[in-house]
Structure 1
Amino acid sequence: MNRTARLYALVEELRAAAPRPVTVAALAARFEVSTRTVQRDLQALMAARIPVRAVPGRGGGWSIDPGMTLPPIHLTAGEASALTTALAAVDAATPYADAARSAAQKIEAAMAGPAAAAARELARRIVTLPRPGDSAIRTAVERALAEGTVLLLSYRDAAGHESDRAVEPAGLLAADGRWYLIAWCRTRRAGRGFRLDRITAAAPTGERAQPHDLAELLSGSAAAGAVRPTALGPLPVAIA
């Protein structure tokens, strides 16, 4: 078993045992490698931000949070190629760019043979013109959306006027190659769209935000007709 396959197998072994920890010795015996090899593999998983952790004390070992990982997903060669190619086109200004990059690497690492070669060849044919993006701002926006917390923004509008806002994020809008944070603005007491490349600073507060309906905030605006991307919608059901 090569190392890539073993890393995936380690994750599944820990998932199967969760929440009970598994000792390094047991993992070494399971995969017929040394305990030092297992320790290196576990450190590699941690570096890749897989939610594995060491449990100290008697009866301890290593465990994983099964709620933070996905079970194996069986993709066709075409699906894997499409995902790898789409993720390869994500630039630094796109929300969740870091997660997209690591996901593409994991998909590529899991593929083998002609399918892997085809996916890599297709990805090499995709090029983008990079746009500037501040990773700290992007990370703050991602965190506020994921955790449902208030975000403090410094924003420069189209006329160049700067202002500071406390906003309650509701979602993201993609339009004409630009990304917008749609949020309830406490200063304006209304829904507003903030273009990500015009946000000059963003700081999470940890304060719980009120939930807001994205469609309701967009209602009456130029983006009122925005729809969920086809790829995120339900698959059509075949009727016999």
Structure 2
Amino acid sequence: MTTPKPVSHAARDQVGRLLALVPYLHQHGEVRISEAAEALGVDAAQLDKDLRVLFMCGLPGGFPDDLINVDLDALEGEGIIRVDNADYLARPVRFGPSEAAALVVALRAIEQSASAETREVVARTLAKLEEAGAASAAEQIHVSADDSPGADLLPVLQGAIDRGHQLEISYYVPSRDEQSSRIVEPRAITRVGDATYLDAWCHTAHGDRAFRLDRIVAADELAETVSERAAQPRDLSGGWFRGEGETVAVTLRLWPDAQWVPEYYPVVDSTPGPDGTLDVVIDVAGEAWLQQLLFRVAPHARVIAPREFAESFTANARAALRLYQAGGVG
């Protein structure tokens, strides 16, 4: 069995830094690396590494005249960043037919489930694209309504958000295999990755929660208005569940016979462990679900953290073993 490659964010992070670095250098011209590092919020040593990648970037073709030029002598000798042959970065962005089509499709998909204010912004953007002729190749594109689970509830959810009303929802949590009724104060509907979420303040949990639309079984708009707790959408750039108590990050060490787990369950992180093992981090909403998973993969998995989860599973496994040894299980 081939060991899955560890999840790595290094390349993605570097691309993000380069996208911020190039406009900054184009605007400021010659700057000291310490000054640029402070402005961009990155370590100077890391910025030096990024600059050595930058001179391999440029226009298609890959010839010397196509690539951005970084003065390495000035960088190494004086600690000064000098970049040229990047004037094309100041030119207005022009969309090709395929790029325009992709942008129009995305905007029209957003328009279907967006708030009234967002729909107005999307409509203005589409109009500008059409005026500029960028959307000519996409004029015949039609985006059908989302038929994924929970999509039929979008009008009810968005209507409650627009009118500032609370909702009563019936929500299914697969990791606990249970369905519950909750009163929530909705803020916004947001798509993250392949899933759409309702961001809300939950009366049952007494805190902020994010509910996947494909797990909302039913929803009814209530007459009660939302409070200040749902006045503004949250900044969810750091993730839905970080610090909210909705899930617990559990680190599992998987031996080869259990390394199918990250193929079936979403993992937050994955790194190689000792002796061919794989360490994965999973967001778990309930200890009962975790124990079911551990019994399935035993003895080819072990809880590394949190320690109390490892101790709890060990105690339950020993109790189950005693039943077998005492003949209590036929």
TM normalised by structure 1 equals 0.43
For the pair shown, which has the larger CA radius of gyration, 1 or 2? 2
* TM-score, normalization by structure 2: 0.33
